[in-house]
Structure 1
Amino acid sequence: MHSRKTVYRFESLPAAPFYAGLVLSGMATVLLGPILPAISARWSLTDAQAGALFTAQFVGAILGSVVSSYRRRHSVVFGHFAIALGLAGLSINNYFAALAALVIMGIGIGGAVTATNLIFGTEYPEERGRLLSRTNLCWGLGAVSAPQFTGWAEHHHTLRPFLLTAALATLGVSLWLSPMLRGALSFRTQKDVPARDNLTLPLFLIFSAILFLYVGGETAIAGWISTYMHRFAGLTVAASSLTVSVFWFSILGGRLLAPLLLRRLSEFQLLLTSILAAILGLLPLFARVPVGVAIAAVVLSGMGCASVFPLSTSRLLARVGRSRRTGWIFAICGSGGAVLPWSMGLLSERSGSLRTAFLIPLGAMLSILLCTLLERGLPEPHSEDHLPQQ
């Protein structure tokens, strides 16, 4: 009989290709934003045409997330292949080719990232929180570095070579991970997989709400904080844009610290602390405060946001295990990034104050807190519902 350590360990592949794939996936996810001004000018796009590019990627990501629950190993391998194909398609100097490329790339991102989180969250239950914090850290590293790389590439007129290089790197990750399709990893056989589906309707609704609100709240803060700092903190446009980097680097710092904090705190304690920190970080933004205080608030909210997604995902997977419907939750959560930032712009316009519009991410975090407490009160799954221990 295999030991527990052997059962839960990857036997033929190290974790490195998964982490490398997440870094590249993070870059691909946010790539459109930094390159949009350049391609909009090159192709003379209207705002409606430019917005359709985001929609194309978003629709693809939904499809990829849904498929990932049913074909996890295939989603990881072919997801990275699709990302590579999409990146290569973006290098073609044509708007309609870009639309098709972004749909393909979105499918790859939704499939690869979701499947990787599901695999790490179910194959290593004793280290679920730490591993999911690491996977989200790697994704964040890619997301933060994308604007820097694209900015350098555009400055040196090498955007197309950059996209092709990123495509080749992602293709390399797909090939590196291809032994998964031959069963080279120590995944349990079908007889070891619990037949019961633990994803009840209350769990589905609560976790869909938590992840939808988190993704939307995080995107809303990142999307509007620069404008906020320019309007209310008196920073120049260039200086205020740096606060977006401050927010993302704070998230990265929080995810880097999370595995260390989990040695002293339970997952639920750290999750609760993180949500409260995000809420406290947003509160100073509703008052007239010095620039330093506003930046400190951004740092605190970013550090607070850091652990919400990975630990909420960890709690979800701890409850539902290998449910094939989990991908629908990740598909729903992605739409938060489209809805909440748009709602902030609408509220700002109607109220005449962007400061008032920050009630939306604040309300999202407060709602996450409520949903988390409600989830805590739900009965735990029966012992037979957990993954078998060997």
Structure 2
Amino acid sequence: MPRSASDRRTLAALHAAFALTGVLHAIGGALLPSIAQTFHLSDKQSGLLFFLYFAGTAIGALLCIGRYAQMMSAGFVLVTLACMGIATTDALLLRPLFLLLGIGVGVPMSAVSMFAGRKFGQATAGPLTFLNFSWSLGALFAPLLAAQVLLRHSYRAVYPALAVLAIAAAGACWLLLEDPPERSAPELRSGIRNIAWIVLFSALTFAEVGIENTTATWLATFAMRGEGAGAAVGAASSALYWCGFLGSRGLFSLLLLRVETPRVLGLAVLGAALAATLLIVVPGSVERGVLMLVLGAALAPVFPLMLARFFTRARNASDSRWVLSICGFGGSVLPWLTGWISASSGSLRVGLATVPAALVSILLLLPLTQRRGRIAS
């Protein structure tokens, strides 16, 4: 619980900023059918567009050095400029603007996690999962907003509103946040041991964030094609995924404040792998909706639990920028690869096989996070 008015203001600003990054991160996939129709993009071209955006988020993570509160403000200013550009641009500038948007979103999205890791240290799991609940709330709001707007307008109507929210967030971060002092973890003092820990969690989060970004990017298009309906219906259907995501994050936000859940990470990944596999092989709109809900619920706790586990043994919170940057590149590669496979095979269902494949790779790596002696040597 916050101990002072200053603590409450800090947490309020962090939650609001993180929720907005959730909106910005998820709304691109919900708007993708409208963007693709406007510019006549193939799945391969759409995948490249989001490759640039997610690569931008990785670059943004690398830029998070030093004063995280100021970095959040700078990132949201960049988001404002990119959103205004996307709302008015033609096809020629769309790709560089999506890269710029990714950098702008990546800075505050990473800086919030680093800020929490520095402030809470080894007790990060509960607060970080609660912050990710707010992120998920924003991500759930994104497709609902997109569905309403796309009933009467194109994607161009959304981005000016996002620009206004971003500039307000920049001001709030600048005025309300003050960086806490750096904390050092008691373990992994040597550089080699710390590097091994960073490499392991970079690999894990590379796959996990790639999965989250692939589902965020392609589920609306997958639902639209499965329903044979318009972009608004596809965006609304993909909200089921975010409903599961949000509900699960809320549950674990409370659970992790009270009990240790050492097995929940493995069980969540296993459940997500089963749901993702069934999603691409089971026909029917009702089954598709249920499986989207289950997939979102299973994936929700995975990333914050991974990051909290990393913070327990990393030397400094700032070390996480390498993990957050590399996982951002995973977030760019998997959506692009999904689009490339879809275009090559003529089936988005085949392209989405990247999701269960990546989840299996996580299951194979997870045991290494428990083997302290070997990974630290």
Pairs within 5 Å for 1:89-168: 89-95=85-91, 98-125=94-121, 127-157=123-153, 162-168=158-164
- 1:200 equivalenced with 2:190 (yes/no): no
Q: Is the Cα contact below 8 Å between 2:130 and 2:249 reproduced in 1?
A: yes
> What RMSD in Å do the two structures reach over aligned CA positions?
3.9
Q: Is the Cα contact below 8 Å between 1:114 and 1:330 reproduced in 2?
A: yes
For residue 385 of structure 1, what is the aligned residue in structure 2?
Answer: none
Instruction: Considering Cα pairs closer than 8 Å and 6+ residues apart, tell me whether 1 or 2 has the greater RCO.
Output: 2
Moved more, 245-254 or 279-288: 279-288
- The match for 1:185 among 178, 183, 186 is 178
Q: Is the Cα contact below 8 Å between 1:10 and 1:185 reproduced in 2?
A: no
For residue 245 of structure 2, what is the aligned residue in structure 1?
Answer: 251
Q: Is the Cα contact below 8 Å between 1:197 and 1:323 reproduced in 2?
A: no
Cα distance between partner residues in 2 of 1:230 and 1:28: 21
Q: 1:73 to 1:262 in 2, by over 3 A?
A: same
For residue 205 of structure 2, what is the aligned residue in structure 1?
Answer: 211
For residue 73 of structure 1, what is the aligned residue in structure 2?
Answer: 69
- 1:338 equivalenced with 2:336 (yes/no): no
Q: Is the Cα contact below 8 Å between 1:262 and 1:270 reproduced in 2?
A: no
AA at the equivalent of 1:214: E
For residue 310 of structure 2, what is the aligned residue in structure 1?
Answer: 316
The one-character-per-residue Cα deviations of 1:158-197 (angstroms, maximum 9, x if unpaired) are: 96665333322221221122146xxx63612x6x657957
Q: Is the Cα contact below 8 Å between 2:368 and 2:375 reproduced in 1?
A: no
- The match for 1:170 among 153, 166, 181 is 166
Q: 1:66 to 1:9 in 2, by over 3 A?
A: farther
- 1:16 equivalenced with 2:12 (yes/no): yes
* Unmatched tracts of structure 2, length 5 or more: none
Cα distance between partner residues in 2 of 1:39 and 1:294: 24
Moved more, 52-61 or 137-146: 52-61
AA at the equivalent of 1:81: V
Cα distance between partner residues in 1 of 2:169 and 2:161: 13
The one-character-per-residue Cα deviations of 1:108-131 (angstroms, maximum 9, x if unpaired) are: 211101010111123113641122
AA at the equivalent of 1:141: L
The one-character-per-residue Cα deviations of 1:333-388 (angstroms, maximum 9, x if unpaired) are: 12223333444455567778766665532232222122221111124999xxxxxx
Moved more, 282-291 or 313-322: 282-291
Q: Is the Cα contact below 8 Å between 1:197 and 1:320 reproduced in 2?
A: no
Larger Rg: 1
The one-character-per-residue Cα deviations of 1:257-302 (angstroms, maximum 9, x if unpaired) are: 1122225541433222322221332354476577655544333222
Q: CA deviation at 1:330?
A: 1.2
* Unmatched tracts of structure 1, length 5 or more: 383-390
> Which SS does the other structure have where 1:200 is aligned?
helix
- The match for 2:359 among 358, 365, 385 is 365
For residue 387 of structure 1, what is the aligned residue in structure 2?
Answer: none
For residue 388 of structure 1, what is the aligned residue in structure 2?
Answer: none
For residue 371 of structure 2, what is the aligned residue in structure 1?
Answer: 377
So what's the TM-score if we normalise by structure 1? 0.78
Q: Taking every aligned residue pair, what percent have the same amino acid on both sides? A: 25
AA at the equivalent of 2:239: S
